[in-house]
Structures are given as C-alpha cells and as structure tokens.
C-alpha cells in the first residue's frame, strides 16, 4: 500500500507531530508512506531525517493553482493507493489535485471543531474528500453541522508516544517551588490573555509558586509585556519551545491550558502521561480527554477567576493533585500512538476495499 500524506504548514505544532508519527509508524507496519510538506519546514526536515520520502509542496491557499498542478504531477508519477490530507489548505490543494489526477480514495483528517462555513467550504467538504477522520466528538459534530454525512466520518483521536517512565517529582517541602507549566503556541486559540490574568490572580495568593510557558508564536511579545507590567517576571518564565521538551516537563507539578477552543489537545495527553494534574478550559474536545474531577479540573473558557481557583485547589490539596495525576497517567495509555495508527491502517483498508468494489 502506498499513501501520500499532505501537510504544507510551515510550522511545527500538534497536527504536524501527528503526521510525522503516523507516517513513521505506518512505515514500520509495511505501508509506503510519503509526505508532501513545505520545503525547509520542521515536518519536512524530521521526515527526511527519519528516512520518510518528502515531496516539496508550497501552498499559499486552498486554490493555489501552482501548488495544485505541482501536486497533481507528483500524484501522476507516484500513483498512491490513497491520499491522506491533514490541514484545511491540504484539503483544498490536495483534493483538487486528486480529482485532476484521478486518485481515490481521498481521506481528510479534521483537527479543528469549527463548522465549515461559506460557499467554497461547503463545496469542498462535499466534493473534495471521500471520507473524514474526526479526532474528537466535537470535531465530528462540526462536520455533521457542515453537511458531511455520518457514514463518511470515522472518529479516531490523535495519539502520543508514552514516556518510558514518569519523572521524579520534587517532594513537598523540599524547597523546590510548586511549578505550573504550559507547552503551547502563543496564539489566540490558547488564549494567552486569560492565561496571564489567571496567573496574576493565583500569584496574589500563592506568591512562592512559579509558572513556565514554553512555545513560539505571534502573541509571545504580548504575554511577555503583560508579565512585566504585572510585576511577576521573577516568577514567570517565558521561553521558546525546545527540541528537548523533557527539560521543561521534568520541572512541572501541574499543567495549565486555558484554550479558547480546542479540538482535542494532545499536549494534555502528554502532561497526563507524565502524571501531571490538569487545569484546562471546558471547550471542544478537552472534556473528552480530561474528565472533570478525574484527571483534572475544568473551568469555563475566558474565566481567569475560575482558572486561578482551580490552580489554587491543586496547590493546596496535595492528595487531590496526586490522585488526578495517577488517573491521568492511566487514561493517557488509551491514546498510545501505536494503537491509534493501527486504527488508521484499518480504516485505509476499508476505504480501499470500498473503492475497489465501486470500481
């Protein structure tokens, strides 16, 4: 089986990590996986380092004619059995290329819970894919509201690589400050304004605690300015995302993600796999991953008072925090990437069988 994955994003975020893991592990399962990615992008570089064939693809929009023709040529030369598209832009460019090249089936993984809107989006979702993977029930519901029939949607969540062993945690009272972490891009989706206001409120009551946000993005300067203005720069560390995130994970006692919207949130799974209790917003697919009172505490989005109160509860109730962390580690095993890849591989087989029967 030969599959071409398409993700022309120039950045490295959760979706790109999923594409890389999927292509790599499918290859280990005997699937010839190739990745069409932006030249010089982190995804292209990591795939090349892992020996995954890369098709250079620069796409400036859903209807980038040059990108469509370029990808069409690659499809005609390589004749994949299945085309797997992983972003909205990939859906437009890849879907058009596939139709021009006569490649089917076309599978789209949808990683946002926003309902497709506008004439082109409606047409695209009805005509430029044969099947969809929704990574959460929230995403599946958005596709249904966008007019995609239920029999063309499969729910398969994103997955993570489980760490070999949870890191040692500082013993309470050992002198190490209680530290809350966020590993995410500085984007409106992650709601850095609510994050900053929550941190300010929390530190008013718990001044000996510490916060870390590791990530990159356009709103990072805004966050750094708000921290300086609030006078908490000595207790809040803002740093770029590192090639070795374990250096950050090993310092944390809890994880905080106040997203404004979130299809699933694989970074929450990463935190849970490391035994960290969670405070997050009750939006999108997050409640499907972090169940309130079981693996973490959820609050309404955009509510810094509720977020800071949840953080205070974790800080002051050590037994609760430990219980949530243990439950999170168990829960994260359900999302181990190997099992997720097996489900995708099974779906590929079903789609190819159906395409063969139709032919």
- Nearest by Cα to 82 from 133, 117, 42: 133
Alpha helical stretches, state H, 87-136 = 88-101, 119-127
Mean pLDDT value across the chain: 94
CA distance 346 to 352: 10
CA distance 22 to 341: 6
Lowest mean pLDDT among 71-75, 161-165, 195-199: 161-165
Asked if 129 and 234 sit in the same domain, the reply is no
Give me the pLDDT at residue 241, please.
83
71-104 confidence digits (pLDDT tens): 999 999 999 999 999 999 999 999 999 999 999 9
Q: What is the CATH number of the domain that holds 272?
A: 3.40.50.2000
Percent of the chain with pLDDT over 70: 97
Asked if 230 and 251 sit in the same domain, the reply is yes
Asked if 190 and 132 sit in the same domain, the reply is no
295-318 confidence digits (pLDDT tens): 999 999 999 999 999 999 999 999
**Residue 25 belongs to a domain:** yes
**Domain encompassing residue 200:** 179-335
Q: Is the pLDDT of residue 30 over 90?
A: yes
In the three-class reduction of DSSP (H, G, I as helix; E, B as strand; rest coil), residue 34 is classed as: strand
317-358 confidence digits (pLDDT tens): 999 999 999 999 999 999 999 999 999 999 999 999 998 877
CA distance 176 to 33: 46
Q: Is the pLDDT of residue 263 over 60?
A: yes
Name the pLDDT band for 242 (thresholds 50, 70, 90): confident
Name the pLDDT band for 165 (thresholds 50, 70, 90): low
Give me the pLDDT at residue 252, please.
97
104-141 confidence digits (pLDDT tens): 999 999 999 989 888 889 899 999 999 999 999 999 99
HSE-CB of 35 using CA atoms within 13 angstroms: 32
| Rounded (5°) CA angle 143-99-141 | 5
**Residue 169 belongs to a domain:** no
CA distance 359 to 354: 9
Residues 19-33 as b or e (16 or more Cβ within 10 Å = b): bbbbbbbbbeeebeb
Asked if 106 and 62 sit in the same domain, the reply is yes
Asked if 250 and 321 sit in the same domain, the reply is yes
Instruction: Compute φ and ψ for 85, nearest 5 degrees.
Output: -105, 140
> How long is the chain?
359
CA distance 96 to 67: 10
Give me the pLDDT at residue 174, please.
54
Q: Is the pLDDT of residue 169 over 60?
A: no
Number of domains forming the structure of the chain: 2
CA distance 36 to 71: 8
Give me the pLDDT at residue 14, please.
92
Residues 295-325 as b or e (16 or more Cβ within 10 Å = b): bbbbbebebbebbbbbbbebbeeeeebeebb
Give me the pLDDT at residue 166, please.
56
- Nearest by Cα to 331 from 292, 283, 287, 289: 289
Give me the pLDDT at residue 244, please.
80
**Residue 172 belongs to a domain:** no
Asked if 154 and 212 sit in the same domain, the reply is no
**Residue 173 belongs to a domain:** no
Q: Is the pLDDT of residue 33 over 80?
A: yes
Asked if 321 and 354 sit in the same domain, the reply is no
Give me the pLDDT at residue 176, please.
83
Q: Is the pLDDT of residue 359 over 80?
A: no
Give me the pLDDT at residue 175, please.
64
In the three-class reduction of DSSP (H, G, I as helix; E, B as strand; rest coil), residue 280 is classed as: strand
The gap between the terminal CA atoms of the chain, to the nearest Å, is 18
CA distance 330 to 69: 47
Contact, 286 vs 258, CB < 8 A? no
Asked if 64 and 152 sit in the same domain, the reply is yes
CA distance 133 to 347: 9
Asked if 255 and 291 sit in the same domain, the reply is yes
Average pLDDT rounded to a whole number, residues 212-237: 95
Give me the pLDDT at residue 357, please.
78
Asked if 315 and 346 sit in the same domain, the reply is no
In the three-class reduction of DSSP (H, G, I as helix; E, B as strand; rest coil), residue 157 is classed as: coil
Give me the pLDDT at residue 211, please.
98
Contact, 110 vs 135, CB < 8 A? yes
CA distance 28 to 323: 36
Asked if 8 and 117 sit in the same domain, the reply is yes
């Amino acid at each position: 089986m030969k599959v071409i994955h398409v993700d022309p994003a120039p950045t490295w975020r959760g979706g790109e990590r999923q594409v890389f893991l999927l292509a790599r592990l499918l290859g280990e399962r005997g699937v010839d996986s190739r990745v069409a990615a932006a030249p010089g992008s982190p995804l292209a570089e990591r795939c090349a380092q892992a020996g995954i064939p890369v098709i250079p693809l620069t796409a400036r929009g859903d209807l980038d004619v040059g990108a469509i023709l370029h990808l069409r040529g690659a499809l005609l030369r390589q004749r994949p059995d299945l085309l797997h598209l992983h972003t909205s832009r990939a859906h437009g460019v890849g879907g058009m290329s596939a139709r021009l090249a006569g490649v089917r089936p076309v599978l789209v993984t949808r990683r946002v819970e926003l309902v497709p809107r506008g004439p082109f989006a409606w047409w695209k979702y009805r005509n430029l894919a044969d099947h969809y993977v929704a990574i959460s029930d929230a995403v599946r519901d958005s596709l249904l509201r966008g007019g995609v029939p239920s029999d063309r949607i499969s729910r398969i969540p994103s997955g993570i690589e489980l760490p070999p062993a949870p890191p040692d945690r500082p013993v309470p009272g050992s002198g190490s400050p209680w530290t809350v972490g966020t590993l995410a891009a500085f984007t409106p989706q992650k709601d850095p304004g609510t994050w900053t206001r929550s941190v300010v409120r929390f530190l008013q009551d718990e001044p000996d605690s510490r916060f870390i946000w590791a990530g990159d993005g356009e709103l990072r300067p805004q966050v750094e300015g708000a921290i300086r203005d609030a006078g908490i720069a000595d207790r809040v560390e803002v740093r770029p995302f590192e090639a070795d995130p374990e250096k950050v994970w090993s310092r944390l006692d809890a994880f905080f993600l106040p997203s404004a919207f979130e299809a699933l949130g694989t970074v929450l799974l990463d935190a849970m796999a490391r035994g960290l209790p969670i405070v997050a917003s009750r939006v999108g697919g997050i409640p499907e991953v972090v169940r309130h009172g079981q693996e973490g505490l959820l609050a309404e989005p955009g509510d810094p008072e509720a977020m800071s109160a949840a953080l205070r509860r974790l800080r002051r109730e050590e037994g609760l925090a430990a219980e949530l962390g243990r439950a999170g580690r168990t829960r994260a095993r359900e999302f181990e990437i190997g099992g997720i890849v097996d489900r995708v591989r099974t779906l590929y087989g079903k789609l190819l069988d159906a395409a063969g029967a139709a032919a």
